[in-house]
Copies of this chain bind each other. A is one copy, B any other.
Amino acid sequence: MFKVPDHQVAGHRASQGVLGPLIDDSGRFYKPLQSDERGSNEVVFYTQFSSNKEIPNHIRKFFSVYYDTQLIEASDGSGLLPHLVLEDITSTRTNPSIMDVKIGSRTWYPQASEDYITKCLMKDRQTTSLPLGFRISGLQIYGSEQSGYWKPDKKRVLGFTAEDVRVVLRKFVSSNSSDDFGTEPDCAFAAAVYGGSTGILAQLLKLKAWFEDQTIYHFYSCSVLMVYEKEPILNGKSPSAAVKLVDFAHVLDGQGVIDHNFLGGLCSLIKFISEILKDQPHDLTKDNSGSEIACANDCNKI
């Protein structure tokens, strides 16, 4: 009944002896609770968030639906373990291209232990978190039935430089992305995926507006997941581009202050993506679903 997700791009992957998330056929995603306070923190967050009436509906849709916490057989064979039962974001998608972007130049918070702070600070300095305000944690880009996915391994991804990130954000929406870093990405799907009134940039801008105002939560070490499907675009249909927030083991009470760390990183990601859209020739200002892309307006707005 439970199986290992096909489209996981970051975090530990379930296997014999390794604890990781599972999915079922009904579109649910089972995330094992980490045994320390991170597990309980994430349950507290989902429970509290689900019933929080201050969250506008247009923001709630950036979060996976939370169903329950359930005891199921752990993937590592260690017996029954509590799992968060969430919506499986990829269950309705065929060959999704996915990118996991950890937001914030700082993944640690003042109240954490000195050991934890030292470890996070080192990783923030070794990756692009510090210079860019975000780092890519994992990704897969669908090429074609023949080429399959381009899915660089974890070590490779964490070694991305600022320039690599710029290229990978272009490759993510290109038709020639199945090889490695050799070819100049053509950004053929930039307008359809990043642009448009329902594209990724428009969604990130909605999230940004909320983060400029909300003082309820501070999201440390949380990721923006960007997902879309390439094949529908080739058939003149919508790529179903979606932005989701994931990983809430380090969410803190905002105590009346905005999450300036997340907001700064989010604005940096937005700037990278709007620059890709700006570079597109003007005759591409219509996406394949026929609606105007958001670039012209949004580039002024941001």
Q: Which residues of A pack against B, CB within 8 Å? A: 105-106, 110, 125, 130-133, 162, 166, 212-213, 215, 255-258, 260-261, 263-265, 267-268, 270-271, 302
23 contacts between A and B (CB under 8 A): A105-B260, A105-B261, A106-B106, A110-B131, A131-B255, A131-B257, A132-B257, A132-B260, A133-B257, A133-B260, A162-B255, A162-B257, A212-B270, A212-B271, A212-B302, A213-B271, A215-B271, A258-B267, A258-B268, A260-B268, A263-B264, A264-B264, A264-B265
Residues of B within 8 A of A302 (CB): 212-213
Closest approach, in angstroms, between the C-beta of A236 and any C-beta of chain B? 34
| Interface secondary structure of A, over-half rule | helix
Residues of B within 8 A of A166 (CB): 256
- Tell me if A261 and B264 are in contact (CB < 8 A): yes
Give this chain's copy count.
2
Residues of B within 8 A of A130 (CB): 110
Closest approach, in angstroms, between the C-beta of A52 and any C-beta of chain B? 19
**Complex alpha-carbon distance, A255 and B162, angstroms:** 10
5 more CB-based (< 8 A) A-B contacts, given A212-B302, A261-B264: A133-B258, A133-B261, A212-B267, A257-B268, A257-B271
Closest 5 CB pairs of A and B: A264-B264, A260-B264, A133-B260, A260-B268, A258-B271
Residues of B within 8 A of A125 (CB): 110
Closest approach, in angstroms, between the C-beta of A287 and any C-beta of chain B? 24
**Complex alpha-carbon distance, A257 and B135, angstroms:** 13
Residues of B within 8 A of A133 (CB): 257-258, 260-261
Q: Which of A106, A132, A212, A260 has the most CB of B within 10 A?
A: A260
Residues of B within 8 A of A110 (CB): 125, 130-131
Closest approach, in angstroms, between the C-beta of A280 and any C-beta of chain B? 18
